Amino acid sequence: MKNKSLKDLLQLKSRELPAILLNWKEYDQQTVLITYLDCTRRQMEFTDEISTSLNEFSTFHNKSLNQMAEEFFNENSVENYNQYFDKITNPVLTEEQKSLKEFRRIQIDKAYEKERRGGTKDIVIGGIVLVVGTVITLATLSSGSGLITYGAILFGVVKIAQGLYKYNM
Protein backbone atom coordinates (compact mmCIF):
# COMPACT_ATOMS: atom_id res chain seq x y z
CA MET A 1 0.00 0.00 0.00
CA LYS A 2 1.19 3.45 -0.87
CA ASN A 3 1.40 6.11 1.79
CA LYS A 4 1.41 9.85 1.09
CA SER A 5 1.66 12.57 3.69
CA LEU A 6 -0.16 15.88 3.55
CA LYS A 7 3.05 17.57 2.39
CA ASP A 8 3.22 15.11 -0.53
CA LEU A 9 -0.42 15.74 -1.37
CA LEU A 10 0.02 19.51 -1.27
CA GLN A 11 2.58 19.22 -4.05
CA LEU A 12 0.03 17.52 -6.29
CA LYS A 13 -2.18 19.55 -8.56
CA SER A 14 -5.94 19.46 -8.06
CA ARG A 15 -6.44 17.36 -11.16
CA GLU A 16 -4.11 14.63 -9.78
CA LEU A 17 -5.96 14.12 -6.47
CA PRO A 18 -9.01 12.28 -7.87
CA ALA A 19 -6.70 9.51 -9.12
CA ILE A 20 -5.92 8.64 -5.49
CA LEU A 21 -9.62 8.53 -4.63
CA LEU A 22 -10.42 6.38 -7.67
CA ASN A 23 -7.58 3.95 -6.88
CA TRP A 24 -8.18 3.93 -3.14
CA LYS A 25 -7.26 0.22 -2.84
CA GLU A 26 -3.65 1.07 -3.66
CA TYR A 27 -3.34 3.56 -0.79
CA ASP A 28 -3.61 3.32 2.98
CA GLN A 29 -6.69 4.63 4.79
CA GLN A 30 -5.03 7.82 6.06
CA THR A 31 -3.83 8.82 2.58
CA VAL A 32 -7.28 8.39 1.07
CA LEU A 33 -8.92 10.25 3.96
CA ILE A 34 -6.47 13.17 3.78
CA THR A 35 -6.95 13.30 0.01
CA TYR A 36 -10.72 13.42 0.44
CA LEU A 37 -10.45 16.17 3.08
CA ASP A 38 -8.01 18.17 0.97
CA CYS A 39 -10.32 17.89 -2.04
CA THR A 40 -13.17 19.29 0.06
CA ARG A 41 -10.86 22.08 1.31
CA ARG A 42 -10.06 22.94 -2.31
CA GLN A 43 -13.83 22.86 -2.99
CA MET A 44 -13.49 20.29 -5.74
CA GLU A 45 -16.65 18.75 -7.11
CA PHE A 46 -16.75 14.95 -7.13
CA THR A 47 -17.87 13.08 -10.21
CA ASP A 48 -20.23 10.11 -9.92
CA GLU A 49 -17.27 7.79 -10.38
CA ILE A 50 -15.39 9.37 -7.48
CA SER A 51 -18.52 9.34 -5.29
CA THR A 52 -18.93 5.63 -6.01
CA SER A 53 -15.29 5.00 -5.10
CA LEU A 54 -15.70 6.93 -1.85
CA ASN A 55 -18.82 4.89 -1.00
CA GLU A 56 -16.87 1.67 -1.66
CA PHE A 57 -14.06 2.96 0.54
CA SER A 58 -16.39 3.76 3.45
CA THR A 59 -18.22 0.43 3.03
CA PHE A 60 -14.90 -1.43 3.04
CA HIS A 61 -13.94 0.18 6.36
CA ASN A 62 -17.49 -0.09 7.81
CA LYS A 63 -17.48 3.62 8.70
CA SER A 64 -18.69 6.78 7.07
CA LEU A 65 -16.17 9.31 5.84
CA ASN A 66 -17.31 11.69 8.59
CA GLN A 67 -16.65 9.06 11.28
CA MET A 68 -13.19 8.34 9.88
CA ALA A 69 -12.47 12.06 9.69
CA GLU A 70 -13.60 12.57 13.30
CA GLU A 71 -11.31 9.74 14.49
CA PHE A 72 -8.45 11.20 12.47
CA PHE A 73 -8.96 14.63 14.02
CA ASN A 74 -9.04 13.12 17.53
CA GLU A 75 -5.79 11.21 16.86
CA ASN A 76 -4.08 14.40 15.74
CA SER A 77 -5.54 16.61 18.50
CA VAL A 78 -7.29 19.01 16.14
CA GLU A 79 -10.92 20.03 15.71
CA ASN A 80 -11.10 20.12 11.93
CA TYR A 81 -9.11 19.76 8.75
CA ASN A 82 -8.16 23.44 8.62
CA GLN A 83 -6.44 23.16 11.99
CA TYR A 84 -4.65 19.99 10.86
CA PHE A 85 -3.62 21.75 7.63
CA ASP A 86 -2.25 24.72 9.59
CA LYS A 87 -0.50 22.43 12.07
CA ILE A 88 1.33 20.55 9.31
CA THR A 89 2.09 23.46 6.99
CA ASN A 90 3.08 25.92 9.76
CA PRO A 91 5.07 23.93 12.31
CA VAL A 92 5.42 25.37 15.80
CA LEU A 93 8.78 26.99 16.43
CA THR A 94 10.84 25.42 19.20
CA GLU A 95 12.59 27.53 21.82
CA GLU A 96 15.93 26.93 20.11
CA GLN A 97 14.55 28.12 16.77
CA LYS A 98 13.05 31.19 18.45
CA SER A 99 16.36 32.06 20.12
CA LEU A 100 18.24 31.58 16.81
CA LYS A 101 15.73 33.82 15.06
CA GLU A 102 16.15 36.47 17.78
CA PHE A 103 19.96 36.16 17.57
CA ARG A 104 19.80 36.58 13.77
CA ARG A 105 17.64 39.69 14.17
CA ILE A 106 20.10 41.17 16.70
CA GLN A 107 23.02 40.48 14.34
CA ILE A 108 21.20 42.20 11.47
CA ASP A 109 20.45 45.19 13.71
CA LYS A 110 24.14 45.40 14.72
CA ALA A 111 25.26 45.30 11.09
CA TYR A 112 22.74 48.00 10.22
CA GLU A 113 23.94 50.20 13.09
CA LYS A 114 27.59 49.68 12.07
CA GLU A 115 26.75 50.68 8.48
CA ARG A 116 24.92 53.74 9.75
CA ARG A 117 27.89 54.78 11.91
CA GLY A 118 30.10 54.36 8.83
CA GLY A 119 27.75 56.70 7.00
CA THR A 120 28.11 59.31 9.72
CA LYS A 121 31.90 58.98 9.52
CA ASP A 122 31.79 59.42 5.73
CA ILE A 123 29.67 62.56 6.11
CA VAL A 124 32.16 64.06 8.60
CA ILE A 125 35.22 63.18 6.48
CA GLY A 126 33.53 64.46 3.33
CA GLY A 127 32.56 67.68 5.08
CA ILE A 128 36.10 68.28 6.34
CA VAL A 129 37.62 67.57 2.90
CA LEU A 130 35.04 69.81 1.25
CA VAL A 131 35.65 72.72 3.63
CA VAL A 132 39.46 72.39 3.46
CA GLY A 133 39.35 72.06 -0.32
CA THR A 134 37.12 75.11 -0.62
CA VAL A 135 39.33 77.22 1.69
CA ILE A 136 42.51 76.24 -0.17
CA THR A 137 40.84 76.82 -3.54
CA LEU A 138 39.70 80.30 -2.52
CA ALA A 139 43.13 81.11 -1.05
CA THR A 140 45.04 79.97 -4.12
CA LEU A 141 42.52 81.10 -6.71
CA SER A 142 44.22 84.44 -7.23
CA SER A 143 47.56 82.78 -8.03
CA GLY A 144 45.89 80.35 -10.48
CA SER A 145 47.40 77.22 -8.92
CA GLY A 146 44.25 75.97 -7.16
CA LEU A 147 43.33 73.42 -9.83
CA ILE A 148 44.26 70.39 -7.73
CA THR A 149 42.01 71.50 -4.91
CA TYR A 150 38.97 71.18 -7.16
CA GLY A 151 39.57 67.43 -6.84
CA ALA A 152 39.37 67.76 -3.06
CA ILE A 153 36.05 69.58 -3.37
CA LEU A 154 34.72 66.89 -5.70
CA PHE A 155 36.00 64.14 -3.38
CA GLY A 156 34.33 65.83 -0.40
CA VAL A 157 30.98 66.06 -2.19
CA VAL A 158 31.16 62.39 -3.25
CA LYS A 159 32.09 61.30 0.29
CA ILE A 160 29.17 63.27 1.75
CA ALA A 161 26.80 61.66 -0.78
CA GLN A 162 28.09 58.19 0.13
CA GLY A 163 27.66 58.95 3.82
CA LEU A 164 24.10 60.20 3.32
CA TYR A 165 23.25 57.08 1.33
CA LYS A 166 24.64 54.77 4.03
CA TYR A 167 23.04 56.76 6.83
CA ASN A 168 19.57 56.68 5.26
CA MET A 169 19.57 52.99 4.28
Q: What is the DSSP string of the chain?
A: -B---HHHHHTS-GGGHHHHHHTGGGB-HHHHHHHHHHHHHTTPPPPHHHHHHHHHHHHHTTS-HHHHHHHHHHHTT-SSHHHHHHHHHSPPPPHHHHHHHHHHHHHHHHHHHHHHHHHHHHHHHHHHHHHHHHHHHHHHTTTT--HHHHHHHHHHHHHHHHHHHHHT-
Confidence of residue 1 (pLDDT cuts 50, 70, 90): low
Q: What is the pLDDT of residues 77-92, one digit of tens each?
A: 888 888 888 777 776 6
For residue 166, the model assigns a pLDDT of: 81
The mean per-residue pLDDT over the stretch 10-17 comes to 73
The pTM score is 0.51
For residue 3, the model assigns a pLDDT of: 67
Does position 107 have pLDDT exceeding 90, yes or no?
yes
